[in-house]
Amino acid sequence: MADQQLNIIKDNPIGNGLDAFRASFSSVCEGAGVLYTPDALEQLGQEDLQNLALDLLIALQSLRVSRQLRSSGRDRNLLSDLSRLNSAVNSDDFDLDYIKPLLKCAIADNIDDALIWDRVYRAYRKDVDRVLRNELGAMYVGLPRFYEAFFGRVVGLEMASEAVFNRCTEGSEPLFSNGWRGWPTDANQDDVLSWFAELTETLATFAEEYKSISTHRRRPLAQPNKPIQGSTAERKLDVGFVDDPKAGKDSRCHWSHILIPGELKSNPSADKAAKAWLDLGTYAREVLAVQDTRRFVLGFTICGSLMRIWEFDRLGGIASEQFDINEDGLQLVSIVLGFLWMGDEELGFDTTIMTANDKRFIKIERNGSTERLIIDKVMQRGRCIAGRATTYSWQYPERDEEGELLRQATSQGVVNVARYYHHETVQIRGTEDDIRNNVRRRLDVTRATNYRPERSMPPPSTIAASASRKGRSSSATSKKRSSSQTGAALPPSKRTCSVSPTKASVDALPNRVHRRVILRDYGKPIYMASSRSALLAALEGCIEGHESLRNAGFLHTDISTNNLMINEDNNLSWPSFLIDLDLAVREQREGASGAKGKTGTRAFMAIGALLGEQHSFMHDLESFFWVLFWICIHYDAQGKDIRPTGFDDWNYENDDKLVRSKMGEISDEEVFLAGAEKNFTSYYRPLIPWVNRLRRKVFPNGGRWKRLEQELYSSMKEILRKARNDPEVLEDR
């Protein structure tokens, strides 16, 4: 813990701040017939443990020092972390073993305050790890032929590696003889970093005579104590390879320069999901977020002297078999030279995005001719690994192509929905780019040492709810833009597990296909509107777009803050419009109509959709209400996200709890108005009476709607139209 943190703790002692918690623990022990000692935790039931954990977290939140200590992540302070951890502990899927070390510290006598706060940080990190594991998707290790699949295309690598390794074994003081010279016997991280950086430079120099292209455009980087720039949170990288030949130990590096991240652990037992794998996955997520042409990321872990190579893509992560670098020196040499010599495509870059005269562009075949589309701007990308992604569309092949749905909608004259220009499946090496066959080179995950069939449910039947998108922020071309969004976005776990129509066999392994969708319209999310009136007008326009889309036979099913766009530039784009039809379905008019099961973005999902009702246009209209409700709570006048708030956990809560939370907000008018006055930002408080009028229409008598009402479209638009003329709303404050 940093000195500044320790000084804050010293200046703000806990004192008797935990007395109420300890009294509660004493009472629970008495009721259970066990002695009041830290060991009593092992004899208590799950409900007692959960209640004690909640009591402790509430006590810690009440301490003023929690507002002064920094957050573990990107939140305002440790109080925010405690609030999030409180919600996690109160959920049904939290592993209470994560918080037992904190409980034991809080119970024990004469425990240093710094140790208690350290246990708080560790407990929060455990929960963050749990969320990240869900986001990462399946991670399979021990795949045979991994090295051949990803290094086999590097020209001349095998011959050069053998020659360089032979040179390492020569002389009176060889670099390698029953292990590497200088290897730290205790595998201390700092010593290993220094050793690895020096060895890599030596191997690169040895290999120069075998490679016509200089390897010095890349270099290893070891900066375990320096945050890498470009993260939403303070994040450090143990070791890696960067594209800056001048980068050194004291350089300020950015994630855009990280080609191959690495993670070192001194203990060989850290080669597991809760340790090295998860840390490396975090780094891969940062790389994918800032490098907009990256299809996948290679990386490596070294735990003790045990090494694995990794590949992260939009299905998750896979890794090679483990080997000991002090027993198989040739393998290490070959990997290092491979990382130094790989071309852009072998490193996972999309080579169909080209550069000429300092301009990036793509070529498309359209109407029998070739067009060059200039990429003039790259908007903010979501930080995620497993999922549909952002700049590109990594879609499940079993789904209807979004580009085809957009083409059909545009041809039918749908208004206020992003208009189609072109779509295609990206070709790499003359082959349709997908994960299983192209990115992973047909490696068979069923041969992984940790493969379990139940971990490989086919995503079209179960769409894993990772932080798959923060909207579809993307590369944009001059007047013909890729589907795009910008700005702040939702925290992880946007998607529920959703059951949707599919043509796939439930026994099929998941796959994603790399597609590109180019649209004529572009804009920014509606929460970035220049005024309250502009926001309301954009929302009205998007509702009109939804109705028009429905009249063409489609339901959107994923109404969210990042799928409703505004364009205030007075150009050829719609002033406001819907994007992102990757969850859209063809509506069947004979019944309730729509998608079977649960689809959408959790915070905005209709209550009935969370309960598993067949998706209807009414569910989407309810989602429009939740979008406005969310914006009024989370954004200020500049469209800046003011988090944390008490509603952030809506993205993590299970369905039953989220239903109860939403019902609690809308069922009683007095409660709703009081909550809005408390929770709406000052900028959006003038909208309270109008949001309440929407609540009355969307939730008749404070409950869920019971029948389909086509007229709800016009009712909602009329309320929004009237709200725009309210002097309180128009006043610029």
**What does the pLDDT read at residue 226?**
54
Are the CB atoms for 320 and 146 separated by under 8 Å?
Answer: yes
Q: Which residues partner with 566 through β-bridges? A: 524, 576
Length of the chain in residues, anyone?
Answer: 733
**What does the pLDDT read at residue 379?**
55
- Examine residue 644 and say whether the peptide bond preceding it is cis (omega within 30 degrees of 0): yes
Q: What residue spans of 254-349 are helical by DSSP H?
A: 278-290, 329-341
Interhelix angle 278-290/113-136, nearest 10 degrees: 60
Q: Which residues have CB under 8 Å from 231's CB, separation 6+?
A: 255, 286
> What is the rounded distance in angstroms from the CA atom of residue 641 to the CA atom of residue 634?
5
Q: Are strands 576-578 and 564-566 parallel, antiparallel or unpaired?
A: antiparallel
Sites in the chain below the pLDDT cut of 50: 215-216, 224, 231-234, 380-381, 389, 458-507, 590-593
Are the CB atoms for 687 and 532 separated by under 8 Å?
Answer: yes
**What does the pLDDT read at residue 97?**
78
Say how many CA atoms lie within 13 Å of 342 toward its Cβ. Answer: 25
> What is the rounded distance in angstroms from the CA atom of residue 724 to the CA atom of residue 698?
19
Q: Which residues have CB under 8 Å from 718's CB, separation 6+?
A: none
What is the SS3 assignment for 666?
helix
Secondary structure of 126-177 as H, E, C letters: HHHHHHHHHHHCEEEEEECCHHHHHHCCCCCHHHHHHHHHHHHCCCCCCCEC
First to last CA, the chain: 42
**What does the pLDDT read at residue 481?**
36
Q: Which residues partner with 361 through β-bridges? A: 354, 374
**What does the pLDDT read at residue 500?**
37
> What is the rounded distance in angstroms from the CA atom of residue 549 to the CA atom of residue 45?
53
Distance of CA 692 to the CA centre of its chain: 33
User: Which helix H or strand E contains 394, and what residues bound it?
Assistant: strand 393-395
pLDDT tens-digit readout, 215-251: 446 666 655 455 555 544 445 677 888 887 665 555 6
What is the SS3 assignment for 482?
strand
Are the CB atoms for 436 and 511 separated by under 8 Å?
Answer: yes
> What is the rounded distance in angstroms from the CA atom of residue 247 to the CA atom of residue 231?
19
Assign residue 110 a region (left: φ > 0; alpha: ψ between -120 and 50; beta: otherwise).
Answer: left
Assign residue 388 a region (left: φ > 0; alpha: ψ between -120 and 50; beta: otherwise).
Answer: alpha
Report the 10 Å Cβ neighbour count for 429. 9
> What is the rounded distance in angstroms from the CA atom of residue 509 to the CA atom of residue 227?
38
> What is the rounded distance in angstroms from the CA atom of residue 347 to the CA atom of residue 150?
9
Q: What is the dihedral of CA 632, 720, 547, 480, to 10 degrees?
A: -70
Burial class (CB in 10 A: 0-12, 13-18, 19+), 355: exposed
Q: Are strands 297-303 and 258-265 parallel, antiparallel or unpaired?
A: parallel
Q: What helix, strand, coil percent values describe the chain, rounded to 5?
A: 45, 15, 40
Strand runs labelled E in 169-277? 219-227, 236-242, 258-265
Nearest one of 151, 490, 433 to 294, comparing CA atoms: 433
Strand runs labelled E in 340-392? 354-356, 359-366, 369-378
Are the CB atoms for 584 and 555 separated by under 8 Å?
Answer: yes
User: Which helix H or strand E contains 545, and what residues bound it?
Assistant: helix 532-551
Are the CB atoms for 417 and 577 separated by under 8 Å?
Answer: yes
Secondary structure of 559-615 as H, E, C letters: CCHHHEEECCCCCCCCCEEECCCCCCEECCCCCCCCCCCCCCEHHHCCHHHHCCCCC
Are the CB atoms for 420 and 516 separated by under 8 Å?
Answer: no
Nearest one of 255, 190, 194, 258 to 225, comparing CA atoms: 190
pTM of the model: 0.74
Are the CB atoms for 80 and 71 separated by under 8 Å?
Answer: yes
Q: Which residues partner with 349 through β-bridges? A: 294
**What does the pLDDT read at residue 610?**
94
